[in-house]
Amino acid sequence: MKELLIVALLACLSNVNAESQGVYITQKWPGGFHGYFIIRPDHTLHGWNATLTLSEGVDKLTIWAADIVSSSAGNTFVIKNKGFSADVAKNDEIKIEFQGDKRGMTNPPSGTIVVGGAGALGSGGTNTGGGGQTGTGTGSGSNIGGGPSLPPYTGQGGSQMKHDYSKAMTLSILFFDAQRSGRLSGTNNPIPWRGDSALGDNGDGHDLSGGWYDAGDHVKFNFPMSYSAHVLGWGLQKFKDAYERAGQLDMMYDMLKWPLDYFLKCWEPNKQTYWVQVGDGHADHGFWGRPEDMHMGRPAFKITPGNPGSDVAGNTASAFAIGAIVWKDKDAGYAGRLLDAAKSIYQFAKSHPGIYSNSVPQAKDFYGSNGWKDEMCEAAAELYKATGDQQYLNDAKQWFSGGTAWGYSWDDKTVGCQLLLWEATQDGQYKAPVEAFVNSYKPGGGVPYTPCGLVYRDKWGSNRYAGNAAFIAVMAAADGIGGADYLKWAMTQINYILGDNNKHISYEIGFGGNFPHKPHHRGASCKPGWCAPEWQNSPNQLNGALVGGPGQNDDYSDNRGDYVKNEVACDYNAAFQGACAGLYHFAINNQLPPSPPSKC
């Protein structure tokens, strides 16, 4: 006899206790809403069905991992698993996402879901006896904007944090603001030593001002820039409450809009042209000074159907798509522009496959690409998240690679693709390689460590690779993979970066009382008409910048001339910031485990 489970669903965005019911609200907007529930059986299922009843009818209900068998009055829907979602192992889980649309709707209706064949839904409930189980729960809070709903913040400080992840996240926003190119006058500019620069950037007369300078130099490389924008947006979608609690949500939106506006300039769909780089890396590296004082030629480089670049175009589609998701409630018009751009540049990339650095050889010495399928997989997965269009999910599956990724970075999105597909499908074939990736970075997994505990993937940006892996671990934990074990491991890496190391130094500038003062960064090191010598502290403090990091023996010196250990870059900060936001999210929701002890 099939056991039945009844849970309150959506409940007008309140009285939803995700921990006891397994029900999540992720977004709402005028005329619609999006959410999901989780089936977590106490015995293996080989097929299931459910009846969803809403208190108010909708014009359209879309469910991606199940088929709607029948409906009545626009408020009662009988649904059945699809072939790929039929089998759910004991104590495993599957996420069923849905979207409701109704003209004029401002708040989602309340409702119930009755699931046949599942012995447990979510992770709790009360057994009322009789022939079935009734899952009930009470509580407050909602989860608008993405990420897992957790028990409401108690107001008593949440879980104990050894380091202030909120401050680390807040400082990182300022680093990206310091990287802005273009017209800063008349904008929200929190960096007093930065002003207008590179206003004449153009490609064949087309305005290309704006965007972020890549690192301590002044080239604009769209390949790492779009990776950074996507990662930052993905973290915002998951951990919006962290930015809200820190009072940084408006600053985060303002920061993230800067590169998205720039990408909208760079993409000319009517010409099937995407401008992917401004500035020549070799010429730029011959100039040490403020960006406001640049007078060199700044050539621009593009991809076209005849000179393709699916990697950089796919990256940009991911950034546009996640931007459309996080702006949907804030500015629907802007979100629509981003989604249109995501669709068109994705189609451009799909129709004209190729590696951008083969088409733009000027990028090879700096950000040469090794392939494009991983970027296109992330792009398709994000577009599926933004639209619900099954074709995008089919594309993502086509470009999926099941191996254990070497790292997560500007050139390797493999594990990002895997995690996004797990989010979309809850299929174990995507979960396993995510687990393999995180486990490979944990002690004993194969990636070496410094004596004091930093996972050491590569000397170029050792902090970057540790922070990026921590980001994947935190995101995986938010998606139901790894739990407290992954959070504890992520904390070991972020805590090392913030001071749990042999030098008791924070590798993020401005955090704590001991941090680098001589980053390899032109703008920070110069005043008008004067630049500090290598031995002297930078006259402008580059708050929030994450420097490259220590060597394999925890060796480090604060030396501006060391562009391995003291370089800064947008891609160094992006996932590090997301990891800090995620840890803060778990802390304020009383879900962060105790901090592991430091090794030094």
Residues catalogued as catalytic = 558, 567
What is the rounded (10 degree) CA torsion for 71, 75, 76, 78?
Answer: 60
What is the rounded (10 degree) CA torsion for 143, 148, 149, 152?
Answer: -110
Residue 557, CA distances (Å) to 478, 508, 589 in order? 36, 14, 38
Is residue 469 within 8 Å of residue 508, measured between CB atoms? no
Residue 548, CA distances (Å) to 47, 307, 456, 545, 594 in order? 50, 33, 12, 10, 28
What is the length of the chain? Answer: 600
SS3 of residue 273 by DSSP: strand
Helix axes 462-478, 483-498, angle to 10 degrees: 150
If you ran DSSP here, which 8-state letter would residue 592 be given? P
> Comparing C-alpha atoms, which of 453, 468, 462 is closest to residue 550?
462
Residue 18, CA distances (Å) to 14, 35, 139, 198 in order? 11, 12, 9, 49
Tokens representing 96 are: 């069923």
> Comparing C-alpha atoms, which of 374, 407, 279, 256 is closest to residue 325?
256
Sign of CA dihedral 113, 118, 122, 128: positive
> Comparing C-alpha atoms, which of 448, 424, 434, 417 is closest to residue 482?
434
